Amino acid sequence: MNQTRRKRRPDSSLSRLDSLSPEMLFPAKSPSLTSSRIRNIFLLLIFCFIIYIIFSYGTNFRREQISSIARSLSVFSTRRRHLLFSIAASHDSWLRRSSYVRLWYSPESTRAVVFLDRGGLESDLTLPPVIVSKDVSRFPYNFPGGLRSAIRVARVVKETVDRGDKDVRWFVFGDDDTVFFVDNLVTVLSKYDHRKWFYVGSNSEFYDQNVRYSFDMAFGGGGFAISASLAKVLAKVLDSCLMRYSHMYGSDSRIFSCVAELGVTLTHEPGFHQIDVRGNIFGLLCAHPLSPLVSLHHLDAVDPFFPKRNRTESVAHLIGAASFDSGRILQQSVCYDSLNTVTVSVVWGYAVQVYEGNKLLPDLLTLQKTFSTWRRGSGVQSNYMFSTREYPRDPCGRPLVFFLDSVGSDGTEGTWSNYNIHRVGHCHRAEAVERLERIRVLSPKLERNVEQMGLPRRQCCDISSPYNKSMVINIRQCMPDELIAMNT
Ligand SMILES: *[C@@H]1O[C@H](CO)[C@@H](O)[C@H](O)[C@H]1NC(C)=O
Ligand SMILES: *[C@@H]1O[C@H](CO)[C@@H](O)[C@H](O)[C@H]1NC(C)=O
């Protein structure tokens, strides 16, 4: 028994110095020592191989060949600089909406260009460089009542690729009212091999929009990404598609049709958000899927989603939180206080909801219908692509809601975030929660490697008791067989 345990000690190299140690008897059996030796030898061999290749081919060795070897090694993974963003805008909309782009674009670390219908704007170094789209009057457009600009916007794909920027792995397209969470997009795209053909995005939240366009179309405003290898081919053939699909409404339908003709289908990534809803998107933001938040769109059609902040400030506040722990933004954890029968849902970086009573997890993962339909008018049905539950009209029928106030780093690998109560109406609340004003959430940084991306698991949390005016919540990994439920 004793020996077995000793053999498993990870650091056997230290004990080898001790000539009397029992490990001396089993030096070769130490699994960690052997495997680390093999790994070192292996790494050395790879290094020698690369040096050999470079020297043996000399200066004639083509850069592409080096980079193809480099890409096949996992250490050369996709980074921010491998993404080129292309924003479709018009001269008039750009004046108003560039304030959204300024929030996620950084001149030092984001590669992006903006396509406008005409020039004449002063250059602004805090925004991506502006390009005036080429003339597209030769292409037909005959969707009744539609906008010809759809052709220009679709052709942004070709004009971006034709620029020939170096070292682009993914071409990303969006509108000027699309807000990207760039680091999360990098994480998501790292799952896929940019040397193969990929068309990555998401469809509309509004069922009827998908019926009208396609369930397999990446809706343009939510943003979509095309791998460099597919983009190069698409750029070559796009003009012929633009002739063939003149009867379609939008730019995204044109891209979708042309990609479909190349035999490629959409890779759905639920972090892209077209936001085809109006009004209050609290319910939508509070039930985000486990995948990282990649984009938000249609910000002018929705209410500011933080109290006492306008739209731009609301987005800035969310992006500010994401800068501390990008992977965790909008990720939902639920924990229970079984002593007082209280259920807490934390949506990191945005809001915390405190429910009186024992709420079952599946109910809390269902979207609260705080918003209204995208299309207005009688006969419009509110069918969504997810299950919803009613949001009580009476504020006293709703949970207590706390909105993000501030976020900070705890100096090591974690963050703290504070949420302040947002009182609506005079409601009678249970004794345990009636004085609550503030919630502080402590969490480790959510690191996701490529393996975890495929099978994410919701994290658990604990409520530190007792609490009175302020509550402290710790988020952590769940234990292997831990259930997210109240201990009863
Ligand atoms: C939002 O608030 C900021 C700062 O208070 C202000 O500069 C900006 O003009 C406001 N935006 C809108 C659309 O009102
Ligand atoms: C909670 O706070 C209130 C107001 O500060 C105080 O009167 C009360 O005694 C506190 N309750 C507990 C259980 O600490």
Any idea which ligand is nearest the CA of 340? 2
Specify the pLDDT at position 45: 74
Q: Is 244 a pocket residue for ligand 2 (Cβ < 6 Å)?
A: no
Q: What gap in Å lies between CA 100 and CA 312, rounded to an integer?
A: 6
Which protein residue has the closest C-alpha to ligand 1 atom 12? 310
Average pLDDT over residues 113-137: 95
Beta carbon of 65 within 6 Å of any ligand 2 atom? no
Express each pLDDT in 257-306 by its tens digit: 999 999 999 999 999 999 999 999 999 999 999 999 999 999 999 999 99
CA 60/CA 38 separation, integer angstroms = 34
Number of other CB atoms surrounding residue 458 within 10 Å: 15
The alpha carbon of 470 and the centre of ligand 2 are apart by a number of angstroms equal to 11
Q: Residue 473 above 80 pLDDT? A: yes
Q: Where are the domains of the chain?
A: 76-274, 331-476
> Which of 1-10, 85-94, 372-381, 443-452 has the largest mean confidence?
85-94
Atom 10 (ligand 1): residue with closest C-alpha? 310
pLDDT of residue 56: 55
Pocket test residue of 340, 436, 467, 468 for ligand 2, highest count of atoms within 8 A of CB: 468
Determine phi and psi for 438, rounding to 5 degrees: -145, 140
Q: Is 468 in the pocket of ligand 2 (CB under 6 A)?
A: yes
Residue of 312, 314, 315, 317 with the most ligand 1 atoms within 8 Å of its CB, for mutation: 312
What pLDDT does residue 42 have?
Answer: 66
Determine if ligand 2 sits within 6 Å of the CB of residue 134: no
Q: What is the mean pLDDT of residues 305-310?
A: 97
Fold of 331-476: Cation-dependent Mannose-6-phosphate Receptor; Chain A (2.70.130)
Closest C-alpha residue for ligand 2 atom 6: 468
Minimum CA distance residue for ligand 1 atom 5: 313
**Nearest-atom index, ligand 1, CA of 311:** 13
Return the percentage of the chain with pLDDT > 70, whole number.
84
Averaged pLDDT, 33-43: 63
Is any ligand 2 atom within 6 A of the Cβ of residue 435? yes
Q: Is the pLDDT of residue 337 over 90?
A: yes
What torsion, rounded to 10 degrees, do the Cα atoms 55, 50, 171, 126 define?
-80
**Alpha-carbon gap, residue 9 to 13, rounded angstroms:** 10
Q: What angle do CA 366, 369, 375 make, to 5 degrees?
A: 125
At residue 370, the pLDDT reads 95
Average pLDDT over residues 360-387: 89
Ligand 1 center to 304 CA (angstroms):
11
The region of weakest confidence among 77-91, 139-153, 347-361, 379-393 is 379-393
* Between 447 and 231, the higher pLDDT residue: 231
Q: What pTM value is reported for the model?
A: 0.84
Assign a CATH topology to domain 76-274: Spore Coat Polysaccharide Biosynthesis Protein SpsA; Chain A (3.90.550)
Test site for ligand 1: of 302, 309, 313, 317, most ligand atoms within 8 A of the Cβ: 313
C-alpha distances out from residue 465 to 262, 317, 469, Å: 59, 29, 12
Tell me which residue of 242, 258, 253, 259 sits closest to 137, measured CA to CA: 242
Residue 23 or 240, more confident: 240
> Residue 453, exposed/middle/buried by CB under 10 A (0-12, 13-18, 19+)?
middle
Instruction: Report whether pLDDT(36) > 50.
Output: yes
Q: Is 30 a residue whose pLDDT tops 80? A: no
In this prediction, residues 96-109 reach a mean pLDDT of 96
The model's confidence at residue 12, banded by pLDDT at 50, 70 and 90, is very low
